[in-house]
């Protein structure tokens, strides 16, 4: 590597998170409104530039906390975005992260040094985001749909457990399709990825249903 080669200069890294929740059967993503140029007053996914003294994981956790106030979130890398002109400032590679959280368990910062607002938006109502964040969000949604059928990514959405009707409604909201109740119940119980807590609660006014929790999945399993 030739350090003085101009083709190596003026490059940076963005760490960008697509944080999802499911609220009353609607899949939502967390967005912030930018305070500064470029893309001033436009909504964007949560993220920013990586410092040169931190890892990618440290950077995304810092950016989420600084722009939303959320301090505990489990995120995983899902893709790289490397178009040469994705930032008008300089060449910026974006590293995309995905996460699922319970929106009722967090209190959002509405304004920070770099943002003027922060809120949840239904994924099908999002448009005209800053940078290439529409493209990143679209890929993140596809990644989320794949992950909920193979991993326990939804465990962070239900830290206190869930009923099977509640879980089915969440799958339907994210996959955007209806699922057969009996088949869903049979599949989830037979896979061995959930366990009965011995407790029960009512969901949407129906009779009490058992509360389950996700087991820690050591390897991917096909739910559907």
pLDDT of residue 192: 82
Quick one: pLDDT band at residue 1, thresholds 50, 70, 90?
low
Grade residue 3 by pLDDT with cuts at 50, 70 and 90. confident
* pLDDT at residue 4, rounded to an integer: 83
118 — pLDDT class (breaks 50, 70, 90):
very high
Instruction: State mean pLDDT over 106-134.
Output: 96
- Residue 204 pLDDT greater than 80, yes or no: no
pLDDT tens-digit profile of 129-183?
999 999 999 999 999 999 988 887 888 898 889 999 999 999 999 999 999 999 9
pLDDT at residue number 173:
94
Read off the pLDDT of each residue in 113-130 and give the average, rounded to a whole number: 97
- Candidate from 95-109, 122-136, 195-209 with smallest mean pLDDT: 195-209
Least-confidence region, from 72-81, 97-106, 152-161: 152-161
CA 109 to chain centre: 17
Going by pLDDT thresholds of 50, 70 and 90, the confidence category of residue 217 is low
Residue 68 has pLDDT above 70, yes or no: yes
pTM for the model: 0.91
What are the structural domains, with CATH classification, of the chain?
6-147 (3.90.79.10), 153-214 (1.10.10.10)
């Amino acid at each position: 590597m030739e350090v003085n080669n101009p083709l190596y200069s003026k490059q940076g890294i963005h760490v960008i998170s697509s944080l999802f929740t499911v609220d009353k059967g609607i899949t939502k993503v967390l967005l912030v409104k930018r305070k500064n140029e470029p893309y001033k007053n436009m909504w964007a996914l949560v993220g920013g530039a990586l410092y040169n003294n931190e890892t990618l994981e440290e950077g995304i956790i810092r950016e989420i906390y600084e722009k939303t106030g959320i301090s505990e979130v489990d995120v995983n890398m899902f893709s790289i975005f490397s178009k040469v002109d994705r930032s008008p400032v300089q060449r910026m590679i974006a590293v995309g992260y995905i996460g699922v959280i319970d929106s009722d368990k967090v209190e959002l910062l509405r304004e920070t040094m770099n943002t003027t607002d922060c809120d949840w938006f239904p994924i099908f109502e999002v448009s005209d985001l800053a940078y290439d964040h529409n493209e990143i969000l679209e890929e993140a949604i596809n990644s989320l749909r794949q992950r909920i059928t193979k991993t326990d990514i939804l465990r962070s959405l239900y830290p206190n457990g869930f009923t099977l009707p509640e879980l089915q409604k969440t799958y339907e909201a994210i996959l955007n399709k209806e699922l057969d109740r009996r088949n869903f119940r049979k599949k989830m119980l037979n896979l061995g990825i959930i366990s009965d807590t011995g407790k029960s609660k009512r969901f949407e006014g129906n009779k009490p249903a058992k509360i389950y929790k996700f087991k820690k999945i050591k390897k991917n399993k096909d739910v559907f």
